[in-house]
Structure 1
Amino acid sequence: MSTPDVIVVMGVAGTGKTTIGPLVAAALGVPYAEGDDFHPPANIAKMSAGVPLDDHDRGPWLDAIGAWAHGRAGRGGVVSSSALKRGYRDRLRAAAPGVVFLHLTGDRALIEARMSERTGHFMPAALLDSQFATLEPLGRDEAGVAVDVSGTPQQIAGRAVAALHAMTAPAG
């Protein structure tokens, strides 16, 4: 079984990208990069104030993630990024053509409940509606898999790794 070169763990806030990403990276034996660490301070201040980012705000952030993914080509890695719009994913693919997306999906009520339980994160639950409004699920022509976020982190990561292996397994 092979795995994709670089995996981008995507989804709306609260789906567990920061929890599941490192588990998937550990299972695959590759490094993990936290997508939030690529945000410039102005983006964090804006989100902390409850103001959604616009496409202009996201550009430098996506470019930084794309540069990291490009630098991991041939060596593998896992990085988190909401990557909510097709255009954002296209931008990441332009920087690192081999990326594959792991879309964490789930029931809005579950995601909101998990967001309300976390502490020390700059993204307030109040922005969840804007995240769902912005979300464009993976298209059939996009390399990736969708995994439901119900269950424990270990269960979710296990399903994710299995789905990634299945998508990269040779046919036949």
Structure 2
Amino acid sequence: MKKPPIIFVMGVSGSGKSTIGKLLAKKLELSFFDGDDYHPDENVEKMAKGHPLNDEDRKGWLVKLNELAKENREQGAIIACSALKHKYRKLLRNGLEDQLKFVFLSGSFELVSKRLQQRKGHFMPPKLLRSQFEALEIPTSALLVNIEDSPKVIVENIIKKLDNQWA
């Protein structure tokens, strides 16, 4: 019997990872985990002060998310995580190669910036968005989904693409 998927919903801050991840988890009847909840306090404080995280800041957090994914390999899971660089995705994939899939929520700087301006109560200030776009290495092996549609349509598109890949 095939194991349920571990899906990382990835993209820059404000691309809709949490919204889409929750809806996708509900549709697929999988648990949802927001990667932001697993950042150490130092990372949250650094971002809240307007400083972007570097590779060293992210390493422990990514290892923790990989461990979370491994803990859920029997039942599957949806995990929201920026996963901006290839080396981050490689770390997240460690030990889960055949079971893991990345869904990349892609949108323009202008669209995401507009969304971030409307978001309230998040530790990631909109002024750090540029640094995320600069760090982003567009994945070649992820499902690419445009974020211009409604969340419902985006989730439907993801499910169709997943069905085609895992059919």
Please indicate the TM-score interval, normalised by the length of the shorter structure. Answer: over 0.9
Q: Return the letter of the residue paired with 2:70.
A: H
**Taking structure 1 as reference, are residues 63 and 95 closer, same or farther at Cα in structure 2, changes over 3 Å only?**
farther
SS of 2:94's equivalent? Answer: helix
SS of 1:7's equivalent? Answer: strand
CA RMSD of superposed structures (Å):
1.4
Q: Which moved more, 1:3-12 or 1:25-34?
A: 3-12
Q: What does 1:7-18 align with in structure 2 at a 5 Å threshold? A: 7-18=7-18
Structure 1 runs of 4+ aligned residues shifted over 4 Å read none
CA contact (8 A) 2:3 2:74 kept: no
Identify the residue that residue 152 of structure 1 maps to in structure 2. 150
Identical-residue share of aligned pairs (%): 39
Structure 1: gaps spanning 5 or more residues:
none
Residues of 1 paired with 2:54 and 2:119: CA distance? 24
When the two structures are superposed, what TM-score results if normalisation uses the length of structure 2?
0.94
Identify the residue that residue 103 of structure 2 maps to in structure 1. 102
Residues of 2 paired with 1:132 and 1:155: CA distance? 24
SS of 1:119's equivalent? Answer: coil
Residues of 1 paired with 2:134 and 2:3: CA distance? 31
SS of 1:67's equivalent? Answer: helix
Q: Return the letter of the residue paired with 1:75.
A: Q
Identify the residue that residue 42 of structure 2 maps to in structure 1. 42
When the two structures are superposed, what TM-score results if normalisation uses the length of structure 1?
0.92
SS of 2:79's equivalent? Answer: strand
Identify the residue that residue 59 of structure 2 maps to in structure 1. 59
Q: Return the letter of the residue paired with 1:78.
A: I
Q: Return the letter of the residue paired with 1:59.
A: K
SS of 2:26's equivalent? Answer: helix
Q: What does 1:127-142 align with in structure 2 at a 5 Å threshold? A: 127-139=128-140, 142=141
Residues of 2 paired with 1:157 and 1:40: CA distance? 29
Q: Deviations over 1:113-163 (max 9, x none)?
A: 001001000111111110010001112xx3x20100012111111111211
Residues of 2 paired with 1:137 and 1:54: CA distance? 18
How many angstroms does 1:100 deviate by? 0.6
